[in-house]
Chains A and B, each alone.
Chain A
């Protein structure tokens, strides 16, 4: 278990980096039609470079990103794995997550961060240490996720499994469920959705 705890943060940011690079490059006109097998090899190559190739002061990109981003939640790791798989298989179905899910994630993490900054007097983050009360909120959210997007409900279930087995350094349940990277992804998705709605309305 110590091996997982020690290596999961680096592996997570490596996957995130690989997804960002692959997600950008695989949509370029000259590259978008390469075969899945070549895409897989390319992603592996990015993972190795990000994780092991030193770029500054004998540290790799993953080390530097870990220092900036901290630990990704289990939800983020699973989401990024799904997106990466989608890029390799050229199957956008895996990207399809209901905008209601993004809205919920956006609001939850916004409130959590505002509380952490002291802008809200209640320390919501501390509920994650002894999460008896938080479990009720978690179950309510799971009902919503089950109705909106069952894949995301499964991510949150696996995040709870991760919490039970303590695969992350944090003892706080919130850190397994959500993180600022997930919030950023939700923000981008909501913006894209909003823009699409605007464009559609404009051209109708």
Chain B
């Protein structure tokens, strides 16, 4: 009898191991590159404005945006009476023909609690992404206590953002599934999936990327570096395999702004390289506007000033324009979307409103965007 049990157990175990071992894994990823932008030598475009929201909203932060199938822009952010309060929800607005509709709430802690069947006290840092099939995927950070004890959740919209549903918790760490947050925009993969840049913020801070398939299902996560205090990576694909990542620096002074490179589509990342910029522990975004021409939206010295900087190599940057600058105030957490030659930028304005800046390549040219020589560090 004992021999029979022994045989049965080990035979079953080996069969199960063979089943797991022979499972097919996803194919090697490749970045999907956006259409090359053309330099428009016509009208110069530079417009600014605020996304309208109800007067009772006193706090608005961390915008994200994407473009819908009809060309409208969709923006989301978290807002309420103050950061971390239970009344804070994810708010949304659409921009149609250049006009933003008044913002309305779309996702609340109660909605996520009910759909994920777990208690959630607060929400924040939304990130939206549209897959090729037209489905919108919204990633929301939720927490019961502080942001260091937060979790990541995913919701879908099948009607261009009118409703959000199918909320589910992403299990990303073995320690009570805590301390993973998102901030920066996903990057597309050729198989229809995407990478979502995230970061772990607890005893040590480090960045990761999460891979999703074309249906928005979570596949796996890749740690970009174990270097402490770099987070909120902004990833810029250069070709099918190569990409740069730029990081917020939460460490001690001098808070260098680092660049990191991958040559195999994010599976492995090289060592951190110092750029000529510093980062005052604030979020930044980078886009390749033209081949070999990068645009960064960031806080150069502190959050009182938010600026545009450009580079040819991702290491040497030159500031070309100040978007906002006011002592004692905060302009931060930018989001960027580039389509054709139009660049739309959103950022948190004094943590009270979301400001929209719309510009084009012709305007960037007038600010020296195409200059070939920058001061080396």
- Pairwise interchain contact A116-B221, C-beta atoms closer than 8 A: no
Contact (Cβ within 8 A) A117 B202: yes
Tell whether, in the assembled complex, residue A67 and residue B203 are in contact, meaning their CB atoms are under 8 Å apart: no
CB distance from B287 to the nearest CB of A (A): 28
Interface pair B174/A160, CB less than 8 Å apart? no
Inter-subunit contact B218/A135 (CB<8 Å):
no
Does B113 count as interface, using CB distance less than 8 angstroms? Answer: yes
Q: Which stretch, B165-173, B349-357, B365-373, touches the partner chain A?
A: B165-173
Given the contacts A9-B117, A130-B220, A146-B9, A71 and B174 also touching, CB distance less than 8 Å: no
The answer to whether the Cβ of A105 comes within 8 Å of any Cβ in the partner chain is no
Which chain A residues border B25 with CB–CB below 8 Å?
130
The reply on A87 being an interface residue by CB < 8 A is no
A174 within 8 A of partner (CB): yes
Q: Is the pair B9, A154 in contact by a Cβ cutoff of 8 Å?
A: yes
Shortest Cβ distance from A68 into B: residue = B144
B174 in complex: contacting residue of A9, A109, A153, A168, CB < 8 Å: A109
B98-122, CB < 8 A from A = 113, 117-120
Which B residues are in CB contact (< 8 Å) with A160? Answer: 13, 16-17, 20
Q: A119-B203, A146-B9, A171-B219 are in contact. Are A163 and B20 (CB under 8 A)?
A: yes
Determine if A190 is an interface residue (Cβ-Cβ < 8 Å).
no
* In contact, A63 and B117 (Cβ under 8 angstroms): yes
Could you jot down 30 A-B contacts, CB within 8 Å? A6-B117, A9-B118, A59-B119, A63-B119, A66-B118, A66-B119, A67-B119, A68-B119, A68-B144, A70-B176, A113-B175, A117-B203, A118-B206, A126-B223, A130-B220, A132-B21, A138-B17, A139-B17, A142-B13, A154-B9, A157-B16, A160-B13, A160-B17, A161-B16, A169-B168, A169-B171, A170-B171, A171-B218, A172-B171, A180-B176
Seen from chain A, the residues whose Cβ lies within 8 Å of a Cβ on chain B are 6, 9-10, 59, 63-64, 66-71, 109, 112-113, 116-119, 121, 123, 125-126, 129-132, 135, 138-139, 142, 146, 150, 153-154, 157, 160-161, 163-164, 168-175, 178-180
How far apart are B124's CB and chain A's nearest CB, in angstroms? Answer: 16
Does B200 count as interface, using CB distance less than 8 angstroms? yes
A residues in contact with B221, CB < 8 Å: 126, 129
1/0 per residue B249-285: CB within 8 Å of A?
A: 0000000000000000000000000000000000000
Whether A175 contacts B171 by the Cβ 8 Å rule is yes
- Using a CB–CB distance below 8 Å, which chain B residues touch chain A? 9, 12-13, 16-17, 19-21, 25, 113, 117-120, 144, 151, 168-169, 171, 173-178, 200, 202-206, 218-223, 226, 228
Which residues of the partner chain A approach B16 to less than 8 Å between Cβ atoms?
157, 160-161, 164
Closest chain B residue, CB of each to CB of A131: B20
Contact assessment for B176 and A69 in the assembled complex, using a CB-CB cutoff below 8 Å? yes
Known: A67-B113, A135-B17, A164-B20. A157 touches B119 (CB 8 A): no
Q: Which residues of B contact A6 (CB under 8 A)?
A: 117
B58 → chain A, closest Cβ, in Å? 23
Contacts of B144 in A (CB 8 A): 67-68
Known: A135-B17, A180-B176. A63 touches B113 (CB 8 A): yes
- B140 to chain A minimum Cβ distance, whole angstroms, is 14
Nearest CB in chain B: distance from A77 CB, A: 15
Given the complex, which residues of B lie within 8 Å of A173, measured CB to CB?
A: 20
Tell me, rounded to whole Å, the shortest Cβ–Cβ distance linking A143 to chain B: 9
Q: Are A126 and B222 in contact (CB under 8 A)?
A: yes
Query: Residue of A at shortest CB range from B16?
Result: A160
> Are B173 and A68 interface neighbours, CB within 8 A?
no
Residues on A with C-beta less than 8 A from B171 are 70-71, 168-170, 172, 175
Which residues does chain B contribute within 8 Å of A59, judged by CB atoms? 113, 119
B220 touches A153 (CB 8 A): no
Q: What's the Cα separation between A64 and B117 when bound, in Å?
A: 9
User: Which of B20, B113, B223, B226 makes the CB contact (< 8 A) with A135?
Assistant: B20
Q: Which 9 A-B pairs have the closest CB atoms?
A: A67-B119, A118-B204, A170-B171, A129-B220, A70-B177, A67-B118, A121-B226, A66-B118, A123-B223
Contacts A59-B113, A118-B203, A160-B20 given; indicate if A125 touches B168 (C-beta within 8 A): no
Find the B residue at minimum CB distance from A9. Answer: B117
